[in-house]
């Protein structure tokens, strides 16, 4: 098999890239090790930056997002039983974010690709990237028990943190910058209306908690009395800081709700709504950057090259930024014959990535309780939160980073 761009992985990075290349008239093949149902159901991110929303719209992949996604103009910071709202548009010159699940972004892009794009092969596992430092890189992969080779002009490794493409960069050229955290997130989905209309990031002596949501699912029921009856089912997404290594099943549903209630407690009459928990999982927390992001004709994008702890809601948005940078560079090469943007890929991406690493680290250490924290650390956290709540410059810094760093 032969193509111009071999894309490994059909997560947000691989699927957005496939769409951008299709629109630019550049052919590509996507290899995905899992099946379609798995890719469309894996619960992850929920917040799209303004820049990501703009990219999806320009790519013609935003029709359902624009119908069902929820525009959010702010978040709430909760600490010391107090509430402080950060208003994005007034602090950033009009920016906001969109609540629309990563699973839905992936479903929309898979459907578009299968309808009008080129090949997207599920259950096709890349085994290795070979000859990356030549003009003819190749991806060796396995599908339906048989090994095959995809010959390419370029390979983009969008295969996430556990993928194979990063391994094709010689160890002597690789530098890894990493930090792990002594805590994780226990995340739940619950069939209950969100207890607040915006996200709530709560710092508590017992640990961090996050209140988020998914857009309501509207179901249409044929009815004899009225033409059609539509019922909205509401979905809450909530997270609790738990010790690293926690098993999701070790928390009973009622224990989760009790703990959420404690951590979100306010001095006013705010109340947490409980409902049936439909999904439970634990996410480890990590900061990780692999440099460089390019080796010859192999380019890494998204989680394959970098990980942020989810507190800043940046992972998916960074993945989109990387593939936009790659697609622009390849189009530039085709139009001008110059490889300057491809050569600058790693450097261009890393500038934005390090800002997101910084912000995600800041948000994580601002809001989580380190098990080794002293009373000094606790007071410092509260002082940092007071600073954001009380000073426009500090609040603006947070709002600008949360709504997203520019793609250029
Ligand atoms: P993905 O999504 O991991 O996709 C990689 C794909 O590659 C496939 N693959 C292979 N295919 C072929 N051959 C191989 N050898 C392969 N090895 C792997 C995998 O099956 C998979 O389909 O990486 P990508 O595309 O770079 O996307 C990154 C994002 O998924 C990730 O950064 C975000 O989910 C992070 N994240 C968040 N990001 C945000 O921007 N906003 C958020 O609100 C947000 N919240 C979150 C998050 C991540 C979370 N978890 C579970 C880590 C909340 C959570 C809880
Ligand atoms: C989510 O809704 O899944 C979500 C929202 C904000 C974050 C992380 C995850 O910072």
How far is the CA of 321 from the CAs of 56, 69, 80, 102, 291, in angstroms? 11, 20, 36, 15, 16
Is 80 exceeded by the pLDDT of residue 228? Answer: no
How far is the CA of 305 from the CAs of 17, 148, 281, 298, 381, in angstroms? 15, 25, 24, 12, 30
Tens digit of pLDDT for each residue in 274-309?
999 999 999 999 999 999 999 999 999 999 999 999
Q: How far is the CA of 160 from the centre of ligand 1 (A)?
A: 6
193 within 8 A of 77, measured Cβ to Cβ: no
Tens digit of pLDDT for each residue in 229-278?
667 789 999 999 999 999 999 999 999 999 999 999 999 999 999 999 99
Name residues contacting ligand 2 (CB within 6 A): 45-47, 199, 212, 237, 310-311, 313
For residue 402, what pLDDT is reported?
98
Assess whether the C-beta atom of 321 lies below 6 angstroms from ligand 1: no
Q: How far is the CA of 212 from the centre of ligand 2 (A)?
A: 6
User: Which residues are the active-site residues?
Assistant: 72, 201, 310, 314, 402
| 52 SS3 class | helix
Strand runs labelled E in 296-390: 298-300, 306-307
Is 90 exceeded by the pLDDT of residue 117? Answer: no
Q: How far is the CA of 345 from the centre of ligand 2 (A)?
A: 28
Q: How far is the CA of 312 from the centre of ligand 2 (A)?
A: 8
Q: Which atom of ligand 1 is nearest to the CA of 316?
A: 40
23: tokens are: 């629109």
Which superfamily is assigned to 5-403 in CATH? FAD/NAD(P)-binding domain (3.50.50.60)
| 155 SS3 class | strand
Q: Which atom of ligand 2 is nearest to the CA of 313?
A: 10
Is 70 exceeded by the pLDDT of residue 223? Answer: no
For residue 308, what pLDDT is reported?
98
Count of residues making up the chain = 408
Q: Report, as an integer, the average pLDDT of 184-210.
A: 97
Q: Which atom of ligand 1 is nearest to the CA of 13?
A: 25
Q: Which atom of ligand 1 is nearest to the CA of 141?
A: 13
For residue 118, what pLDDT is reported?
82
- pTM for this model (two decimals): 0.95
Pocket mutation for ligand 1, best pick of 30, 310, 311, 359 (most atoms within 8 Å of C-beta): 310
Query: Sign of the C-alpha dihedral, residues 58, 64, 65, 70?
Result: positive
State the CB neighbour count (10 A cutoff) for residue 395.
19
Which range, of 69-73, 219-223, 336-340, 359-363, averages the lowest pLDDT? 219-223
Give the helix/strand (H/E) hosting 238: strand 228-243
CA 403 distance to own-chain centroid: 13
- For the chain, the structural domain boundaries read 5-403
Over the chain, what is the mean pLDDT? 95
Q: How far is the CA of 211 from the centre of ligand 1 (A)?
A: 21
Tens digit of pLDDT for each residue in 17-47?
999 999 999 999 999 999 999 999 988 888 9
């Amino acid at each position: 098999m032969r193509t111009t761009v071999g894309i490994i992985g059909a997560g947000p990075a691989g699927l957005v890239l496939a769409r951008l290349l299709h629109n630019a008239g550049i052919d590509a093949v996507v290899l995905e090790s899992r099946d379609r149902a798995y890719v469309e159901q894996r619960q992850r991110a929920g917040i799209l930056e303004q820049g990501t929303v703009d990219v999806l719209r320009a790519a013609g992949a935003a029709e359902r997002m624009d119908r069902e996604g929820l525009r959010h103009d702010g978040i709430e910071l909760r600490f010391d039983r107090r509430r402080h709202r950060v208003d994005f548009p007034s602090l950033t010159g009009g920016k906001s974010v969109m609540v629309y699940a990563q699973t839905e972004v992936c479903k929309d892009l898979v459907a578009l690709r299968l309808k009008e794009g080129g090949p997207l092969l599920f259950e096709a596992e890349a085994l290795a990237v070979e000859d990356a430092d030549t003009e003819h890189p190749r991806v060796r992969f396995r599908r339906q028990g048989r090994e095959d080779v995809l010959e390419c002009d370029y390979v983009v490794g969008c295969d996430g943190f556990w993928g194979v493409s990063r391994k094709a960069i010689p160890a002597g050229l690789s530098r890894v910058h990493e930090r792990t955290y002594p805590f994780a997130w226990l995340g739940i989905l619950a069939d209950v209306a969100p207890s607040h209309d915006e996200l709530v990031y709560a710092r508590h002596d017992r640990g961090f908690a996050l209140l988020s949501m998914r857009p309501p699912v509207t179901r249409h029921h044929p009815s004899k009395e009225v033409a059609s009856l539509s019922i909205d089912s509401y979905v809450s997404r909530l997270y609790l800081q738990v010790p690293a290594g926690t098993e999701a099943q070790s928390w009973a549903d009622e224990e989760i709700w009790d703990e959420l209630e404690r951590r979100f407690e306010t001095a006013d009459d705010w109340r947490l709504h409980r409902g049936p928990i439909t999904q439970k999982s634990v996410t480890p927390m990590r900061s990780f950057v692999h440099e460089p992001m390019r080796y010859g004709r192999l380019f890494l994008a998204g989680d394959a090259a970098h990980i942020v702890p989810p507190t800043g809601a940046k992972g998916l948005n960074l993945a989109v930024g990387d593939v936009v940078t790659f697609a622009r560079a390849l189009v530039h090469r085709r139009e001008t014959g110059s490889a300057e943007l491809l050569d600058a890929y790693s450097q261009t991406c890393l500038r934005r990535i390090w800002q997101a690493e910084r912000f995600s680290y800041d948000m994580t250490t601002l809001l989580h309780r380190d098990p080794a924290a002293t009373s000094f650390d606790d007071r410092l956290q509260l002082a940092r939160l007071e600073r954001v709540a009380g000073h426009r410059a500090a609040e603006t810094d947070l709002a600008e980073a949360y709504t997203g760093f520019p793609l250029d």
